[in-house]
Amino acid sequence: MCGIVGQFSIDEKTNLLSKTEELSKMLESMIHRGPDGEGKYESKNLIMGMRRLSILDLDNGFQPIFNEDKSIVVVFNGEIYNYIEIKDELLKKGHKFYTSSDTEVLVHLYEEYGEDFSSYLNGMFSYTLFDIKNNVLIVSRDRVGEKPLYYSIMNDIFYFSSEIKSLLLCSDIKCEANKDSINDMLTFNYVPYPNTAFKNIYRLEPGKSIIIKNNKISKKTYWEIPKKSIYNNNFENFETLDSLISNSVEIRMRSDVEVGAFLSGGIDSTIVTKYMREKTEDSFKTFSIGFTEEIYNELDYAKKVSETYNTNHIYKIVNQDDFLEQLVNSIWFCENPHGDVSFAPTFILSELASKYLKVVLTGDGGDEIFGGYDKYLDFIYNQELDINENFKNYFNKISVFNILEKESILSNEFKSDLIEIDSFKKIEEKYIGIHNSDFINKIMYFDSDYLLEGNNLVKPDRMGMANSIEGRYPLLDYRIIEMMFNIDSSKKIYNGEKKYLLKNILSKDFDDDFIKRKKQMFTVPIGEWFKDKEFIDKINPIICSEKFKNRGVFNYDRVLKMIQSHQNSQENYTRQLRAILVVELWYRIYIDNKFTKKPSFNDLI
């Protein structure tokens, strides 16, 4: 686990050795991703480096890593969970290894299989591999986007990094807001790939590789979520699913340092904790946070799981005072604006865990893959409707602001600068084009493709790495994803019971009161806080200020009316108000202050 950065001269005309000082600044900006060391590779047409968080082969796993004759070099961020099996196969083929690091398998896989070797990896990763003899650069990202990879192409130089801030330190790249991405965020609650909130900075899509050779750039897909037209409607093979999850947890526990777990008390984290207990007799730590407001508090359930599986449970209570400071922290480390305010408690949870260890397993991905969201139930009985109509209904349901609301909430000046105000027009064709008869699987496909990468995996990675914590996600093993998208959604949501397959596994250990209770989202009670005078007084200098008004993004008068209506309980504008707050904070951090240092909340007033 680490962070990677670099610059590559596409046309080979720029001597990048003149930019090594810039490379050092890029690396320094993300020391939190890798506090245990630094490595660099520097040549005329490629400079790159990494920051290391030591987890495997603590003594010898430093990067960059080369092949035997030093003709291939790689920098890598993440973990290859099946590296032991890959290494055994490569040894049989005559390859020589000099470390016990998972990273070293990459250079030998490239020697053996060429540009498409990413398909052999079971892991979370982004890497940059350089074939020195043939002047070929390969940049690749894992299947579902667990690890980040941002890039920009300016003046025939390809810039890449695990974080946007390091790219913004490059002299060729300006720090400017991408208004169309801000508009998209106000629809989806996050900025969907491949864009970012910054002009000319993009992120590599999951399951894809960028290949630069012969002065040309191409993009290849090595994996995507299955799009089946015929499903296995007679799924009864619980043993296969049990075996897959068990193995997924087992290989994600491979580490030379202590491994713990995030435990909310929900179905997904409970499943992960269950299999961890089956894989080790040793005590391991689990971590939770709770809230002073009981309706949002699942600590009692987390404690029950901890007692059942005999873990060393550690927890913390979060209050309103913690939240605003950590909200600013979350925006600083995420770099893109996210309306999901659970980033803040995830930061606090990661900070808590960092006092004890470096690696945690989590239940992330369970809702998208196994059918855990309440919104899916709304469409179970409407699948006979026209597919286009159903997608419009779904998109309207998940929008923070629909089209009519955007027309009133955005300023005329901001709207005039947009290429397209309707964010769904950019993506709906892709999903309408998925030819199958199961609409629930279609929208689960959308969530697994966009929501996971754009929001739900950003959260544990950025909040974890901000505290030098590596999160691993057993429920997102690609073998499990392929299995789950090859069965009808009625087997995932059975007789109205969400996550039926996972709950069936847990039924041996817990009663129905635990398993079938109403799903509780991991979030903070910000809707109630928006009605609290003390909280409003704190945020008034942000969203009720002249600076906010003059920003020209939002219709100021409309925002004031929304706040008043929410406070009077006439309307529930929780999602809308938190998105507005986050966007304004993002502008103040990155556009006004040019991200010069991590600010406090008071610094932004």
For CA atoms 395, 398, 404, 410, give the dihedral sign: negative
**How much is the pLDDT for 604?**
94
What pLDDT does 303 receive? Answer: 96
Name the phi and psi angles at 3, rounded to 5: -130, 145
Question: What is the pLDDT, as a whole number, of residue 1?
Answer: 55
Beta bridge partners of 78: 125
Q: Is 17 helix (H, G, I), strand (E, B) or coil?
A: helix
3-state secondary structure of 287: strand
Residue 63 is predicted with a pLDDT of 79
Residues 6+ away with beta carbon under 8 Å from 316: 288, 289, 290, 348, 349, 352
Q: Exactly one of 2, 175, 334, 544 is catalytic; name it.
A: 2
DSSP codes of every residue in 194-228: TB-SBTT-EEPPTTEEEEEETTEEEEEE-------
* Structural tokens at position 280: 């080790």
For tokens 């199958």, the residue is 436
pLDDT above 70 coverage of the chain, percent: 93
Residue 359: name the closest of 5, 38, 79, 60 by CA.
Answer: 79
Residue set of the binding site for L-glutamine:
102
Where does 10-118 show beta strands of DSSP type E?
37-42, 46-52, 65-66, 72-80
Q: What is the pLDDT of residue 247?
A: 98
Domain 238-371+447-515 adopts which CATH fold? Rossmann fold (3.40.50)
How many CB atoms are closer than 10 A to CB 85? 14
Q: What are the residues facing 287 on neighbouring strands? A: 262, 314
Kindly list the averaged pLDDT for each block of 10 residues, start to end, along the chain of length 605.
91 94 93 81 96 60 87 96 97 94 96 96 98 98 98 98 96 97 97 98 98 97 83 67 96 94 96 97 94 78 97 90 87 95 90 96 97 88 64 86 94 95 84 70 91 97 93 98 90 92 95 88 83 93 97 97 96 96 97 84 93
- Gap between the Cα atoms of 50 and 61, Å rounded: 12
DSSP per position, 428-481: HHHHHT---S-HHHHHHHHIIIIIIIIIITHHHHHHHHTTT-EEE-GGG-HHHH
Annotated binding-site residues for ATP read 289
pLDDT for position 64: 95
What whole-number distance in Å separates Cα of residue 376 and Cα of residue 362?
23
List residues forming the annotated binding site: 102, 289
pLDDT in tens, 275-327: 999 999 999 999 999 887 777 678 999 999 999 999 999 999 887 777 899 89
Q: What residues does each domain of the chain span?
A: 2-221, 238-371+447-515, 384-437, 530-604
Pairing of strands 285-291, 259-262: parallel
Predicted local confidence at residue 60, as pLDDT? 56
DSSP 360: E
User: How high is the pLDDT of residue 431?
Assistant: 73
Main-chain phi, psi angles of 508, to 5 degrees = -75, -20
Q: Tell me the whole-structure pTM to 2 decimals.
A: 0.95
Query: CA–CA separation, 301 vs 308, rounded Å?
Result: 11
> Which residues, in sequence order, are bridge partners of residue 38?
51
Mean residue pLDDT across the chain: 91
CA-closest candidate to residue 231, choices 478, 437, 466, 524: 437
Under DSSP, the state recorded for 57 is S
pLDDT tens digits along 93-110:
999 999 988 999 999 999
Active-site residue flag, 2:
yes
DSSP assignment, residue 325?
Answer: H
What burial class does residue 377 get, using C-beta atoms within 10 Å of its C-beta: 0-12 exposed, 13-18 middle, 19+ buried? middle
Asked if residues 208 and 225 have their Cβ atoms less than 8 Å apart, the reply is: no
Q: Do domains 2-221 and 238-371+447-515 have the same CATH topology?
A: no
- Read off φ and ψ for residue 169, nearest 5 degrees: -80, -10
- Is domain 2-221 classified as CATH 3.60.20.10? yes
Extract the tokens encoding 439.
Answer: 């609409």
Angle formed by the axes of helices 267-279 and 238-252, to 10°? 70
Dist CA 362 CA 340 (whole Å): 18
Concatenated DSSP letters for 154-202? ETTEEEEESSHHHHHTSTT----B-HHHHHHHHHHSS--TTB-SBTT-E
Do 4 and 50 form a contact (C-beta atoms < 8 A)?
A: yes
Do residues 186 and 583 lie in contact, with contact meaning Cβ atoms separated by under 8 Å? yes
Compute the distance between CA of residue 436 and CA of residue 438 in angstroms, rounded to an integer: 6
